[in-house]
Amino acid sequence: MSPDDEFGDLKAIIESLIFASPDPVTLKVLVKTLDGEPPEHIEEALAMLGQEWNDRPGGLQLVEVAGGYQIVTKPELHEWVRRLFHEHSKQRLSVQALETLAVVAYRQPVTGPEIAEIRGVNTSGVLGTLVERRLVKVVGRKAVIGRPFLYATTREFLDRFGLKDLADLPKVEDMAEALGMEVPAALTEGYPTDAILPFEPDPDPETPPAEPPEKVH
């Protein structure tokens, strides 16, 4: 093996180590990992690698930071990276949204204050997102004081989850059985027996609104 080839291999190994490491990789760590390789070879390979990265156009750079080496995006591209993550968080259905969707699905038609009471937190913003995504819609107003909106799931929701109708929504026992899991005893009760509730003001007064309705005075 010619010395050049050898350095080629060494550079490749060092590069992969720097890339895969969560923290900047120090010379010391490299020497220890590449046990048997003369430290001056490693230093030389590192210098060559630094030069190559320096000459390389593109979006990444090799930097020396905190006594070690790390591959990072070029600072002038940070705005784009920020946009990527912004786009990501816009797209993502957060745990919050999923929980809210689940409550709407299993308790529909249901009002914002009722959802907030079950979840223990205010959910109005998340509900808006779900309505925007056409997974949830307003189906009327509940005939209680404040006349809060009643929410239910949409046709789109059924399609997304591969359900024919709301009666298809699985009960926890169904899924536990299909997947060979234990059903937590506490969770077998309290499911809606008749999942399909027509749009109809619920005369049941037992759940008082827990949160101011949309209307503000």
Partner 1 sequence: MADDDNRAAAAGGELESHAHFESILPEYPFKVGDFEGPLDLLIHLIKKNEVDIYDIPIVLITKQYLEYLDLMKELNLDVAGEFLVMAATLIHIKSRTLVPRLETESGDDEDDEDPRDLLMRRLLEHQRFKAAAELLHERETVRSAQWARPDGRVEEIAGEPFERELEVDLFSLLQAFQAVLSRARERPPVRLPEEVVPIETRIEELRERLATVEACGFEELFADVSSRRELITTFLAVLEMIRLKMIRVFQQGTCGPLRIYARMRPTDAPRPLNDPDQGDASPAETSGEDEDKG
Q: Please report whether residue 133 would count as binding its own copies according to CB under 8 A.
A: yes
Only segment of 40-48, 122-130, 184-192 that touches its own copies (CB under 8 A) = 122-130
Task: Quote the CA–CA distance of 70 and 168 in Å, as a whole number.
Answer: 51
Tell me the three-class secondary structure of 120-158, residue by residue: CCCCHHHHHHHHHCCCEEEEEECCCCCCCEEEEECHHHH
Q: What is the DSSP secondary structure assignment for residue 76, as one 8-state letter?
A: G
Q: Of the candidates 112, 116, 117, 153, which one interacts with its own copies according to CB under 8 A?
A: 112
H-helix segments, the chain: 3-20, 27-33, 39-55, 78-91, 95-107, 112-119, 124-132, 155-160, 172-178
Q: Of the candidates 24, 26, 27, 29, which one interacts with its own copies according to CB under 8 A?
A: 29
User: Could you tell me which residues are beta bridge partners of residue 136?
Assistant: 153
Least separation, in Å, of the C-beta of 3 and partner 1?
Answer: 27
Q: Which does 41 bind (CB under 5 to 8 A by kind): partner 1, its own copies, none?
A: none
Query: Which residue number, 64 or 156, has a Cβ lying nearer to its own copies?
Result: 156
Which position has the token pair 């699985």? 170
Strand arrangement, sheet containing 60-65 = 25-26, 68-73, 60-65
Task: Quote the CA–CA distance of 93 and 88 in Å, as a whole number.
Answer: 10
Task: Quote the CA–CA distance of 17 and 143 in Å, as a whole number.
Answer: 64
Query: Which residue number, 41 or 140, has a Cβ lying nearer to partner 1?
Result: 140
Contact 37, 44 (CB under 8 A): no
Binding residues for partner 1, rule CB under 8 A, total 95
Q: Which does 103 bind (CB under 5 to 8 A by kind): its own copies, partner 1, none?
A: partner 1
Residues numbered 49 to 68 that lie near its own copies (CB under 8 A) are 52, 57-60
Residues numbered 24 to 43 that lie near partner 1 (CB under 8 A) are none
Only segment of 11-19, 39-47, 186-194 that touches its own copies (CB under 8 A) = 11-19
Length in residues, the chain: 217
Q: Which does 47 bind (CB under 5 to 8 A by kind): partner 1, its own copies, none?
A: none
Query: Which residue number, 1 or 178, has a Cβ lying nearer to partner 1?
Result: 178
Residues numbered 116 to 145 that lie near partner 1 (CB under 8 A) are 116-122, 125-126, 129, 131, 134, 137-140, 143-145
Residues numbered 180 to 209 that lie near partner 1 (CB under 8 A) are 181, 183-184, 186-188, 190, 197-199, 205, 208-209
Task: Quote the CA–CA distance of 130 and 169 in Å, as a whole number.
Answer: 18
